[in-house]
Amino acid sequence: MALLASCTGLSKSFGSRLLFENIALGISEGERLGLIGPNGAGKSTLLRILAGQLDSDSGTISMRRNTRVGYVPQDAEFAAGQTVYEVVAGAIRDEHLDDAERAARINQTLGRAGFTDGTLRTESLSGGWRRRLAIARELAADPDLLFLDEPTNHLDFEGIRWLERLLTGAAFASVVVSHDRYFLDNVVNDMAEIARSYPEGIFRVEGGYSRFLEKKEEFLLAQASRQEALANRVRREVEWLRRGPKARTGKSRARIDDAGRLIRELGELESRAVKGVTQIDFTATERRTKRLLTVEGISKELGGRTLFRDLTFALGPGMRLGLLGLNGTGKTTLLRILAGEIAPDAGTVERAAALRTVYFDQAREQLDRSQTLREGLGAHGDHVIYRDRPIHVAGWAKRFLFDSGQLDRPIASLSGGEQARVLIARLMLQPADLLLMDEPTNDLDIPTLEVLEDSLTEFPGALVLVTHDRFLLDRVSTAVLGLDGNGGAGIFADYWQWEQAGQAAEEARPEKKESARAAAPAPPPKKKLSYLEAREWEGMEARILEAESALEALRAGMQAPDVVSDGARLHECYRKMQAAEAEVEALYARWAELEAKRG
């Protein structure tokens, strides 16, 4: 595959803090590269540098001539008062389109993103739909290479599946920074991790996230073996040096120099092997009550729509309930009812006497961003009180990967992942019977997610968890409660059972599809082909013949002995053949559409 972009020797610092140095990376046509790394390693910064949004301190970036680059940031911004149609229209750069072609491009792009009403104002959109609009804005510019920074944040499950289909079927290459492990496994065909534990500052593997984990483990084991062997050799050389070689011959001086080199190499290996991991351990009370909270027949309406009706369940120690549903189905509303912040319209919520509840809200409104990190961590003077004993705030900060030099920085200056760690640190100081967690995974890196999973799994109290991280949901929850946003709810064993139930329900509603067809307005009378459509129809037969020839060539290539014996090449050929088959089918469908319109 042809190279689209490459960089060599990229380095970036903010003040005295070095993010990364001497990073080298290449991106080819058709590549979908997943980029991971611990919070603070510089993933978002590297993405902005590659996308031309930020300058590096050193290094070079090379782009193939006329390569169109798109960039979707973590937090998309739109001009006040714009409609979604205007946002997409403003992104189209092709000046050769006439008004009809331009309108068709805009409507097609909005349709791909799931928008059915172009007059919607951007300020009325939820976080998930703002994310879709930000992606649609870049799609309208027809990129060759698209950079996306945490694109699954704020998307519901349907939105994540839409994005997975979009990227896997796209003609453009993409680089995605994400912590969603299922998303990475489903989408990317290349993985790279930025971390100081690697000699080059970055470790790259061809394949999805699961294959990356296998190769990473092999690399770290080899590095550990190398470190152990080197340490033994250094011990022998140090012992030789201590005995003090009497004859300073050329040979002994060379051995002294060699010993110094080995010691430096060992020091570098040891410094790379040091990994900081957030220490998360929520404090539980010693309550032995079998029922901590009982929900009996509660209902809630919002904006004239019934979110849930006659909802009943109970929570006891050790129960971990995941809440599932698309955006707007009432998950956060239900959490706020359980927390006692709002009341249900009907039904009752009974809490055990003196029930202690800890609530993580997805907007992180419990954080005062004008406070310093010291204050945000919950310090009283120079100490925090954790499990009835004082801990110095510097040690408490270190537990969440902050150094003492950051204690007087304002919380507003911290990254999203760092702010999430601050809120977790603050909540850990509060003993709890019941944890209510609303999207705690946004912006957290994968190592922190793994520690969070362990902590939630081991928490002896009850947990209610809202998350779009399917991996965490599967690992942590003992049951899931699915909300459909129209008053219905059901208990399921896990996410996959809920998803299958939703698909089965859709397939079992033919009468709904019939009524929808009946209610649809009559189709407009057929129009003659436009000039562009007539030109397209004239060339369609030749395009189909060309596509079929390409498909046959791929089928023949799959039978070649050197391909059949190479698993990776065979898989790549099969992927290309599937894409070619889809293209042929699409061309035939378009030909039939033009024929019908022509007749």
Q: What is the CATH number of the domain that holds 111?
A: 3.40.50.300
Task: Provide the pLDDT for residue 256.
Answer: 58
| Among the listed residues 401, 454, 424, the one whose alpha carbon sits nearest the alpha carbon of residue 278 | 401
Task: Provide the pLDDT for residue 276.
Answer: 57
Whether 328 and 391 share a structural domain? yes
Whether 553 and 457 share a structural domain? no
Among 507, 523, 543, identify where a domain stops.
507
Would you call 448 exposed, middle or buried from its count of C-beta atoms within 10 A (0-12, 13-18, 19+)?
Answer: buried
Task: Provide the pLDDT for residue 385.
Answer: 86
User: According to DSSP H, which parts of 141-249 are helical?
Assistant: 157-168, 181-187, 209-243
Whether 369 and 467 share a structural domain? yes
Whether 209 and 240 share a structural domain? no
Task: Provide the pLDDT for residue 516.
Answer: 38
Domain coverage including residue 263? 229-273
Q: What is the DSSP string of 484-540?
A: -SSB-EEEESSHHHHHHHHHHHHHT-HHHHHHHHHHSPPPPPP-PPPHHHHHHHHHH
Whether 12 and 46 share a structural domain? yes
Task: Provide the pLDDT for residue 513.
Answer: 47
Whether 234 and 345 share a structural domain? no
Task: Provide the pLDDT for residue 529.
Answer: 62
Hey, what amino acid is at 299? S
Q: Does residue 477 contact residue 321 with C-beta atoms inside 8 Å?
A: yes
Task: Provide the pLDDT for residue 518.
Answer: 41
Task: Provide the pLDDT for residue 283.
Answer: 67
The low-confidence residues of the chain, meaning pLDDT below 50, are 247, 249, 512-527
For CA atoms 164, 168, 172, 173, give the dihedral sign: positive
Structural domain count, the chain: 4
Would you call 586 exposed, middle or buried from its count of C-beta atoms within 10 A (0-12, 13-18, 19+)?
Answer: exposed
CA distance 536 to 546: 15
Hey, what amino acid is at 144? D
Residue 281 forms part of a structural domain = no
Q: What angle do CA 142, 144, 149 make, to 5 degrees?
A: 90
220 HSE (CA, 13 A, CB side): 13
Whether 317 and 264 share a structural domain? no
Whether 377 and 425 share a structural domain? yes
Q: What angle do CA 13, 213, 175 make, to 5 degrees?
A: 50
Share of the chain above pLDDT 90, in %: 33
Distances (CA, A) of 386 to 276, 341, 427: 21, 26, 10
CA distance 382 to 394: 8
Other residues' Cβ atoms within 10 Å of the Cβ of residue 466: 21
Whether 385 and 419 share a structural domain? yes
CA distance 392 to 379: 8
Q: Does residue 349 contact residue 292 with C-beta atoms inside 8 Å?
A: no
Whether 51 and 93 share a structural domain? yes
CATH at residue 584 = 1.10.287
Give the predicted TM-score (pTM) of the model: 0.69
Whether 570 and 594 share a structural domain? yes
Whether 452 and 486 share a structural domain? yes
CA distance 516 to 519: 5
Q: At what angle do helices 209-243 and 250-273 cross, to 10 degrees?
A: 140
Residues 6+ apart with CB under 8 A from 391: 383, 384, 385
Q: Does residue 465 contact residue 476 with C-beta atoms inside 8 Å?
A: yes
